[in-house]
Structure 1
Amino acid sequence: MRSAWRLVLAILAGRVWRVSADLVPDELWDRIAPLLPPRQERRHRYPGRLPVSDRVALAGIIYVLRRGVAWRDVPVQVVGCSGITCWRRLRDWTEAGVWPALHQALLTELRAADALNMDDCAVDGSHIRALKGGDHVGPSPVDRGRPGSKHHVIVDRQGIPLAVSLTGGNRHDVTQLVPLLDTIPRIGGLRAGRPRNRPKRMFADRGYDFDKYRRLLWKRGIKPLIARRGVAHGSGLGKTRWVVERTFAWLHRFKRLRIRYERRADLHHGLLQLACCIICLRRLQAPSQKDQ
Structure 2
Amino acid sequence: MKPWEVSDELWAVIEPLLPKHQRRTRYPGRKRLDDRQVLQGILFVLHTGIAWEHLPQELGYGSGMTCWRRLAEWQKAGVWQRLHEVLLDRLRAADTLDFSRAVVDSSHVRALKGGPQTGPSPVDRGRPGSKHHLITDATGIPLAFTLTGGNRNDVTQLVPLLEAIPPVRGKRGRPRRRPDVVLGDRGYDHDKYRRLVRALGVRPQIARRGTEHGSGLGKQRWVVEQAIALLHSFRRLRIRWEVREDIHRAFLSIGCALICWRRLGSLR
Q: Is TM-score (shorter-chain normalized) higher than 0.5?
A: yes
Q: TM-score category by the smaller chain?
A: over 0.9
Contact (CA 8 Å) 1:64, 1:74: kept in 2 or not?
yes
Q: What is the TM-score of this pair, normalised by structure 1? A: 0.89
Which of 146, 165, 183 aligns to 2:146? It is 165
Segments of 4+ in structure 1 off by > 4 A?
Answer: none
1:127 equivalenced with 2:108 (yes/no): yes
The separation in 2 between residues aligned to 1:135 and 1:67, in whole angstroms, is 24
Contact (CA 8 Å) 1:59, 1:79: kept in 2 or not?
no
Deviation at 1:43?
3.0
Deviation at 1:286?
1.1
Query: Counterpart of 1:166 in 2: which secondary structure?
Result: strand
Contact (CA 8 Å) 1:148, 1:168: kept in 2 or not?
yes
Letter in 2 for 1:217: V
Among all aligned residue pairs of Structure 1 and Structure 2, give the percentage whose two residues are the same amino acid.
59
Unaligned runs of 5+ in 1: 1-17
Contact (CA 8 Å) 2:4, 2:43: kept in 1 or not?
no
Query: Counterpart of 1:106 in 2: which secondary structure?
Result: helix
User: For 1:42-65, what per-residue CA distance to the aligned partner results, in whole angstroms no more than 9, with x for missing partners?
Assistant: 233442221101001100000000
Contact (CA 8 Å) 1:135, 1:263: kept in 2 or not?
yes
Query: Counterpart of 1:286 in 2: which secondary structure?
Result: helix
Instruction: State the aligned residue count.
Output: 268
Judged with a 3 Å threshold, the aligned counterparts in structure 2 of structure 1 residues 264 and 207 are, in CA distance, closer, same or farther, namely same
Which of 140, 154, 157 aligns to 1:176? It is 157
Judged with a 3 Å threshold, the aligned counterparts in structure 2 of structure 1 residues 236 and 79 are, in CA distance, closer, same or farther, namely farther
Judged with a 3 Å threshold, the aligned counterparts in structure 2 of structure 1 residues 156 and 78 are, in CA distance, closer, same or farther, namely same
Letter in 2 for 1:103: H
The separation in 2 between residues aligned to 1:43 and 1:105, in whole angstroms, is 32
The separation in 1 between residues aligned to 2:267 and 2:121, in whole angstroms, is 37
Contact (CA 8 Å) 2:4, 2:47: kept in 1 or not?
no
Query: Counterpart of 1:105 in 2: which secondary structure?
Result: helix
Superposition map of 1:131-146 within 5 A: 131-146=112-127
Deviation at 1:248?
0.7
Report the structure number with the largest CA radius of gyration. Answer: 1
Q: Which residue of 2 aligns with 1:11?
A: none
Deviation at 1:23?
1.5
Query: Counterpart of 2:148 in 1: which secondary structure?
Result: strand
Which of 261, 264, 268 aligns to 2:241? It is 261
Deviation at 1:216?
1.3
Deviation at 1:183?
1.1
- 214-223 or 124-133, which deviates more: 214-223
